[in-house]
Amino acid sequence: MPLSEHEQRLLDQLEQQLHADDPKFASHMESASGRSLSTRQIVVGSLVAVAGILILLIGISSQIIALGVLGFLVMGAGVYWATSRRAGGKAGTGGRKASKQSKGGGFMSSLEEKWDERRQGDDR
């Protein structure tokens, strides 16, 4: 479900405030967002893990230790493949400059003011 224009503006303001407050953390988060899980990767990894479990069970039932160990390794490789993140997609904006803060002390301060106004409106 896409964000409304208002929600998108709020998200952009939060991102700009984060860049202004903690640029090191913001750049770290941008580089991490470029890595994502793909559906194909999850499906293939899961199938390999299930095959590994089957090999492991066959090795246990036939009492062949080497086959059981091989099944365990295949299962572990499948889980690793399904859960590892690969580089892909856009890595964020990076070059945005932080917007000027409002008179009240910034974005968070204006949110706190709006929250206080709502609470006062509910008390009446």
pLDDT, one tens digit per residue, over 7-66 is: 888 888 888 888 888 888 777 777 655 556 688 889 999 999 999 999 999 999 999 999
Q: Which of 100, 95, 47, 99 is nearest to 75 (CA)?
A: 47
Enumerate helices (H) and strands (E) in the chain, giving the number of each: 5, 2
Break the chain into its structural domains and give their ranges: 48-86
Q: Which of 83, 15, 75, 84 is nearest to 51 (CA)?
A: 75
77 neighbors 48 (Cβ within 8 angstroms)? yes
Q: To the nearest whole percent, how much of the chain has pLDDT over 70?
A: 74
